[in-house]
Amino acid sequence: MQFSKFGMQFSKFGRKFTGDSGILQLMDDLGQALAASEGKQIYMLGGGNPAYIPKIQELLRRRMYDMLLNEGEFERLIGDYSPPQGHAAFLQALADLLRRTYDWDIGPENIALTNGSQASFFYLFNLFGGEFDDGSHKKIMLPLTPEYIGYADAGLGPDFFTANKPDIEFLDDRLFKYRVRFEGLSVGEDIGAICASRPTNPTGNVLTDEEIDRLSQLARDNDIPLIIDNAYGMPFPSIIYTDAKLTWDDHIILCMSLSKLGMPGPRTGIVIAHPRIIRALAALNAVISLAPNSVGAGLALDMVRSGEVIDISREVIRPYYRAKAQQAVDWVREDTRDIPCFVHKPEGAFFLWLWFKDLPIGSQALYERLKARGVIVVPGHYFFPGLDEPWPHKQECIRVSYAQEEAVVREGIRIIAEEARRAYDG
């Protein structure tokens, strides 16, 4: 069969996943920034790439060196498929660590690896959302928006998410915090799962223990799972600056990652769930990619087995990002003191969520102006999947990463403030 160059057509699946999306724009911007021509200054404040923390880089380099020296270990790592559920020794080591640390009744049968968190959520959302054999259509409920940009296009069908507007609590020093609006929050028969990130990407919000407990009870009462995106949380990488309890039970699906430890390249997502869900994820791995990547699990195995991963998260990674967060907030306050800019209280992850109240031009236009000056951020309207009702707030926010080098973040924030001021000045 021959295809005309311009006549080839894609399926509904093809059209959906090749169209414009926020996550595609984000990753394109990241790639273009990294490949920018020499001499052109790019202030990459838009991506989710973790920082190059020297102590972490040294630890990973040493582990790789040891693997190369240990006869057969490197060959097995790159030369053998892992089982569809993932690197068996890593699954056992992680189960042991979680049992020791949290006293959970958990084993390797409760854990699966995927090729990154994005793959984890694609699998999970389409297991619990979409069309069912009885003809019903179920959605994924996001109880607090804004939420992670990568969720928005992960559903195979249309009308895949429903979301709730938050309550906004104003704090001192131009900080604010989103809280789950439980009044009116109900789970109907059309909800297949509840999902929330904690810490939240993009805002750095950490849902309180009470909020998690209430969402957990809501899920249990309706016999659906609560999916918690814990990519930045405990026990690793522990980029969390407030007191919080890590919760897991049979009806909770806890998603983790090795990326924010400093290993985004090997694409290692971790899902902790009921064995039936784990078996389903293993089947999906086998069909879609044969097996998950084992390089990240191999690199992290010794530090998970020994528990060192918890120590370096608490003593190296968390203090590193916490200091950068405070410095970035100070710079924003200094540069935006004459315009209505509010910052979501940074309680975790490594992003600032800036709210330019009553911004005249909208977040997309601000993004375009900043991009023209070499500053890459992410416009806020992409972070409201499932919230279709008009709300000006969606067009007044941007996400800014403070994980990059200090000079890049400092100048990027200065330019952001300058462009926002120009927008307000007309």
Domains of the chain plus CATH, in order, are 20-56+312-425 (3.90.1150.10), 81-308 (3.40.640.10)
Note the pLDDT of residue 400.
98
Among candidates 152, 167, 205, which has minimal Cα distance to 379?
Answer: 152
CA 88 to chain centre: 25
In whole angstroms, what is the distance from residue 74 CA to residue 194 CA?
40
Q: pLDDT band at 41, cuts 50/70/90? A: confident
pLDDT tens string 187-209: 999 999 999 999 999 999 999 99
Specify the DSSP element, H or E, that contains 66. helix 54-69
Supply angle C-alpha 117, 197, 411, rounded to 5. 85
Task: Decide if pLDDT at 20 tops 80.
Answer: no
The DSSP secondary-structure symbol of 316 reads I
The DSSP secondary-structure symbol of 317 reads I
Note the pLDDT of residue 336.
98
- Choose between 328 and 78: higher pLDDT: 328
Task: Decide if pLDDT at 160 tops 50.
Answer: yes
Task: Decide if pLDDT at 8 tops 80.
Answer: no
Out of 25-39, 197-211, 325-339, 374-388, least confident range: 25-39
**8 Å CB contact between 387 and 151:** no
pLDDT tens string 351-407: 999 999 999 999 999 999 999 999 999 999 999 999 988 999 999 999 999 999 999
**8 Å CB contact between 329 and 344:** no
As a residue count, the chain comes to 426
Note the pLDDT of residue 184.
86
Note the pLDDT of residue 394.
96
Task: Decide if pLDDT at 340 tops 70.
Answer: yes
CA 332 to chain centre: 23
In whole angstroms, what is the distance from residue 126 CA to residue 122 CA?
6
Note the pLDDT of residue 17.
75
CA 147 to chain centre: 9
Task: Decide if pLDDT at 416 tops 70.
Answer: yes
Give the three-class secondary structure for 196.
Answer: strand
The DSSP secondary-structure symbol of 313 reads I
Place of tokens 């005249």: 360
In whole angstroms, what is the distance from residue 357 CA to residue 167 CA?
16
Contacts of 336 (CB under 8 A, 6+ apart): 417, 420, 421
Place of tokens 């793959």: 119
Q: pLDDT band at 426, cuts 50/70/90? A: confident
Note the pLDDT of residue 11.
80
Task: Decide if pLDDT at 87 tops 90.
Answer: yes
Task: Decide if pLDDT at 9 tops 50.
Answer: yes
pLDDT tens string 282-323: 999 999 999 999 999 999 999 999 999 999 999 999 999 999
In whole angstroms, what is the distance from residue 386 CA to residue 158 CA?
11
Give the three-class secondary structure for 61.
Answer: helix
pLDDT tens string 199-258: 999 999 999 999 999 999 999 999 999 999 999 999 999 999 999 999 999 999 999 999
Note the pLDDT of residue 231.
97
Note the pLDDT of residue 240.
98
Task: Decide if pLDDT at 148 tops 70.
Answer: yes
Strands of 175-179's sheet in order across: 167-170, 175-179, 341-344, 351-356, 397-401, 378-379
Q: pLDDT band at 1, cuts 50/70/90? A: very low
Average pLDDT, the chain: 93
Q: pLDDT band at 158, cuts 50/70/90? A: confident
The predicted model gives 15-25 an average pLDDT of 69
At 318, list the tokens: 């968390």
Task: Decide if pLDDT at 33 tops 90.
Answer: no
At 36, list the tokens: 């920018």
What is the model's pTM? 0.93
- Cβ neighbour number for residue 3 with a 10 Å cutoff: 8
Q: pLDDT band at 7, cuts 50/70/90? A: low
Among candidates 46, 51, 59, 60, which has minimal Cα distance to 320?
Answer: 51
Helix ranges, 134-274 (H): 209-221
- Phi (first) and psi of residue 360, to 5 degrees: -70, -25
In whole angstroms, what is the distance from residue 62 CA to residue 68 CA?
10
Among candidates 13, 272, 232, which has minimal Cα distance to 120?
Answer: 272
Note the pLDDT of residue 34.
54
